Amino acid sequence: MRTTVRGFAVGALLAAAFLDLAIVRAVGAALPLPALVLATGLTATLWPAASRPPRLTTELRTAVPALLSLLYTATALLRHRVVPFGPGEIALLLCLLYLAVRHAPARWAVLCAALDAGALLATPARYFRTPWSGDEGPVYLVAGVLLAGLTAGFAGYLRFLDFRRAAALAETRREERVAIAADLHDFVAHHVTGILVQTQMARMMAAGDRTRLDPVLGGIQDAATEALASMRRTVGVLRENDPVAHRPVGDLAGIRELTAGFAGPRVVLRRDGAVRDDLPHEIQAAAYRVVQESLTNVRRHAGDAGEVVVGLRLAGAALEVSVTDDGRGGVRLPDEARGGGFGLVGLRERVGALGGELSAGPGEAGWRVRALLPVGGVL
228-253 burial, b if ≥16 CB within 10 A, otherwise e? eebeeebeebeeeeebeeebbbbebe
Asked whether residue 258 carries a pLDDT value surpassing 70, the answer given is: yes
**Residue 323 confidence (pLDDT):** 92
What is the pLDDT, as a whole number, of residue 47? 87
CA–CA dist 49, 43 (Å, integer): 11
pLDDT in tens, 148-204: 999 999 999 999 998 888 888 778 767 766 666 666 666 666 666 666 666 666 666
Q: 252-379: what fold?
A: Heat Shock Protein 90 (3.30.565)
Instruction: For 46-55, write each residue's pLDDT tens digit.
Output: 888 888 888 8
**In which band, very low, low, confident or very high, does the pLDDT at 84 lie, cut at 50, 70 and 90?**
confident
Res 129: pLDDT: 63
Q: What percent of the chain has pLDDT over 90?
A: 21
Centre a 10 Å sphere on the Cβ of residue 84 and count the other Cβ atoms it contains: 13
Q: What is the Cα–Cα distance from 290 to 276, expressed in whole angstroms?
A: 18
Please spell the DSSP secondary structure of 103-156, one letter per residue.
HS-HHHHHHHHHHHHHHHHHTTHHHHSSTTSTTTHHHHHHHHHHHHHHHHHHHH
Do residues 34 and 20 make contact, with C-beta atoms less than 8 angstroms apart? yes
If you average pLDDT over residues 310-320, what whole number do you get? 91
Q: Which amino acid is at 229?
A: A
Instruction: List, in order, residues 6 or more apart from 7 with CB less than 8 Å away.
Output: none
User: Which pLDDT score is estimated for 137?
Assistant: 65
Contact 306, 267 (CB under 8 A): no
> What residues contact residue 298 under an 8 Å CB cut-off, 6+ apart?
264, 265, 305, 308, 323, 325, 327, 367
Res. 377 pLDDT band, cuts 50 70 90 = very low
Rounded to an integer, the average pLDDT of 17-32 is 83
Apex 113 CA angle, 107 and 119, nearest 5: 140
Separation in Å, CA 274 to CA 250, 278, 312, 320? 20, 11, 9, 12
The pLDDT score that the predictor gives to residue 265 is: 82
- Predicted confidence at residue 92, as pLDDT, reads 92
What Å distances lie between residue 347 and 34, 256, 327, 356, 373, CA to CA?
Answer: 69, 20, 21, 11, 12
Task: Pick the more confident residue, 246 or 193.
Answer: 193
pLDDT, position 243: 44
Q: How confident is the model at residue 206 (pLDDT cuts 50, 70, 90)?
A: low
Query: Which residue ranges make up each domain of the chain?
Result: 2-134, 252-379
The answer to whether residue 298 scores a pLDDT higher than 90 is no
Total number of residues shown for the chain: 379
Looking at residue 337, its pLDDT comes to 43
pTM given for the model: 0.51
pLDDT surpasses 70 at 40: yes
